[in-house]
Structure 1
Amino acid sequence: MQREVEKRGQRAYLLPSDEISNTRLTSLLSGDAHFCIGDERVVVDEISTIWWRRPSLAQTVLQERHGDVQDDYINSNSKVTLRSTLVNHFNGRWISAPDATERASDKLFQLRCASQCGLRVPDTLISCDPVAVQRFYDFHDRNVIVKAPHNTGRRFLATREFHVEDVTNEQLAVVPSMYQERIPGTRHLRVNCFGTDIRTASIDTEELDWRPNINVPVTPYNLGPDVQKQLLLLLETLGLAMGIMDLKITPDGELVWFEVNPQGQFLFLEPLTHQGLLDLFTTFLLSE
């Protein structure tokens, strides 16, 4: 993305959020804030646009172990200082604003907003109560999937079928999990929303979760204008400038909305669908 922006004659800085110690990040209450990329000093209030992507990575300085308490201190203060410095000194355009990004990452909140925007969403339970889980499981005739309400990023957790008889009540009670009715079908939709520009890919697979294997048919897909309006309304409701959404089409042709990732991956689709996503997103970044 940096190369594409600079090909168009604009300067782009990549601020490595996992290497804050190398950026000489500085914020002066009575003055400006700046960071350094190599020998170049970048003043925050002179930046026009910030793409707020992956700001909370663990610091690479921790490759030399300091101990758990010190590691936590370094990570948490680097994360907080980066966000605070940019939020308090930056006056340009966010893609997307940190508060909106964090709020929209709440899976229950985004499901509720999607439903309010007229989208069909799966019946959902988040619980660590074995009785509630069993009741939900029985209500949906054992057709239930399970996934994490929040992924840590340390390990890939695929969505999978849930069978209550395979786990104990003690295991169910350890941590809340997200349970949803299992939506049938083999056509998954990856919808890339860059502002008002929407590009959709159809991923055809028998797998419940397509992410571990994309060596399957992946083709461009045209969403109808009514659905696009609903998705744009959802972005507006969530306060997001962009969003990468996952949906599914049932065998009966019903469209079911699953989730939005405020900063989801999309460039992996570039060589598969030839939709010009790199060019589209660059144009979106540079638009005012």
Structure 2
Amino acid sequence: MILIAGIPDEPPVALAIAAAEESGAAHVVFDQRDHLSAGLKLRLDAAAGWQGTLSTAAGVIDLQAIDGVYVRLMDERYLPDVVDLPSNAPERLRTARFHSLLHDWLNSAPVRIASRPRAMLSNMSKTYQAGIIHRCGFDIPETLVTNDPDAVLDFVDRLAAEGDDVVYKSVSGTRSIVQTFRAADRARLSHIRWCPTQFQRKVRGTDVRVHVVGARVFATRIESEATDYRYSARQSGSDAKLTSIDLEPGLQKACVALSAALDLPFTGIDLRLTPEGDAICFEANPCPAYSYYQSRTGAPIAAALIDWLAAGGALTRTKAGLAPNGMDRLPAVSQPSA
């Protein structure tokens, strides 16, 4: 049984649900909008591992029957029915506790999960993630993270002398629009004193988004005149052109290895292939909005995700009958319901 957790009419979640229905894979959906009426009970037993139920408007889900989970939950602090409430409002406190318990289970349940919340945290610091990317053998752009305007000007002027532009974006996991540094930006540089920002050498070449699902790879070439092709119409006046491509085997293996190193079995890796044939990696998205790419290329990403989750099943216990994840010496612990 597959659990799909998120907002059902959000495109990536909707595609996953449709793929599960089309394949006939047994699945249940947790609509995150029902969080205030949902109930979660967990018990960690030394012999049996995680036991518990997730109660929703659609019924009660036995968590021991779940073999795989697709996780695309929005930040619970911004759910429409609590976002405007005071921080100490009972509804806010309840939803925080509910999601904390749900994350506890997602982070340790012995089933296939795309992807565990703790693994997604690597993208909260792009510099931290870049270190992992580099250790996995990928080149990364020359990067400056700073809140010092003078350091930025030195960086921009040096790269300009070498014939290259500079782009800038958020250093955190918060979504931002990648922009090319222009003359007008010099007058605004004082703003970064309160917000350290990431500046990078602008790499020449072709953008490629790689979706890794387990050991499968789906690559998309993007042709656009924009700095950030996601906003191509806004930045360049024309939409980006997306085409499915096959990566050479070595690069495919490198992308799968990077996903494994990040513990992200479902990830979106942003590359730029240079005219010299090098692959520069910008980042790995832990919860990719793959629907944008699938809808334009027809790549069966959602079907591959459902196949990967369905093929998992609960992890096999040791012959000694120990609990999964090495929990054999832990006493039985009960978590309060939410």
- Per the TM superposition, whether the score is higher than 0.5 is yes
Match of 2:81 in 1: 61
Change (3 A) 1:240 1:175: same
Match of 2:31 in 1: 16
- The runs of at least 4 consecutive aligned structure 1 residues that moved more than 6 Å come to none
CA distance in 2, matches of 1:128, 1:149: 11
Secondary structure in structure 1 of the residue aligned to 2:129: helix
Match of 2:100 in 1: 80
Percent of paired sites with the same residue: 21
Match of 2:266 in 1: 242
Letter in 2 for 1:19: D
Change (3 A) 1:158 1:3: same
CA distance in 1, matches of 2:107, 2:259: 21
Letter in 2 for 1:258: F
CA distance in 2, matches of 1:230, 1:166: 38
Q: In the TM superposition, what are the counterparts of 1:42-53 in structure 2 within 5 Å?
A: 42-53=61-72
CA distance in 2, matches of 1:127, 1:72: 35
Q: In the TM superposition, what are the counterparts of 1:162-181 in structure 2 within 5 Å?
A: 162-163=181-182, 166-181=186-201
Out of 132, 137, 148, which is 2:170 matched to?
Answer: 148
- Is structure 2 residue 106 aligned with structure 1 residue 98? no
Secondary structure in structure 2 of the residue aligned to 1:268: helix
Out of 119, 123, 147, which is 2:142 matched to?
Answer: 123
Out of 230, 233, 242, which is 2:254 matched to?
Answer: 230
Match of 1:34 in 2: 53
CA distance in 2, matches of 1:20, 1:5: 23
Q: Is the contact between residue 240 and residue 262 of structure 1 (CA under 8 Å) also seen in structure 2?
A: yes
Letter in 1 for 2:170: A
Q: CA deviation at 1:72?
A: 6.1
Letter in 2 for 1:218: L
Higher deviation after alignment, 265-274 or 199-208: 265-274
Structure 1 runs not aligned, ≥5 long: none
Q: Is the contact between residue 113 and residue 309 of structure 2 (CA under 8 Å) also seen in structure 1?
A: no
| Structural RMSD (CA) | 2.6
Structure 2 runs not aligned, ≥5 long: 1-15, 234-238, 313-338
Letter in 2 for 1:250: T
| Cα deviation 1:44-70 (Å, max 9, x = unaligned) | 23211122223534233226x433553
Q: CA deviation at 1:78?
A: 4.1
Q: Is the contact between residue 42 and residue 51 of structure 2 (CA under 8 Å) also seen in structure 1?
A: yes
- Is structure 2 residue 284 aligned with structure 1 residue 265? no
Q: In the TM superposition, what are the counterparts of 1:245-256 in structure 2 within 5 Å?
A: 245-256=269-280
Change (3 A) 1:131 1:239: same
Paired residue total: 282
Change (3 A) 1:275 1:32: closer
CA distance in 2, matches of 1:284, 1:38: 27
Q: CA deviation at 1:118?
A: 1.8
Secondary structure in structure 1 of the residue aligned to 2:69: strand
Q: CA deviation at 1:15?
A: 1.9
- Is structure 2 residue 22 aligned with structure 1 residue 2? no
CA distance in 2, matches of 1:46, 1:32: 10
| Cα deviation 1:111-149 (Å, max 9, x = unaligned) | 112212221210112221223323322332272111012
Q: Is the contact between residue 18 and residue 56 of structure 1 (CA under 8 Å) also seen in structure 2?
A: no
Out of 181, 198, 213, which is 2:217 matched to?
Answer: 198
Letter in 2 for 1:178: Q
Secondary structure in structure 2 of the residue aligned to 1:61: coil
Match of 1:110 in 2: 129
Q: CA deviation at 1:192?
A: 1.0
> RCO (CA 8 Å, sep 6+): is it higher in 1 or 2?
2
Letter in 1 for 2:251: V
Q: Is the contact between residue 264 and residue 286 of structure 2 (CA under 8 Å) also seen in structure 1?
A: yes
Q: CA deviation at 1:21?
A: 0.9
Q: CA deviation at 1:204?
A: 0.4
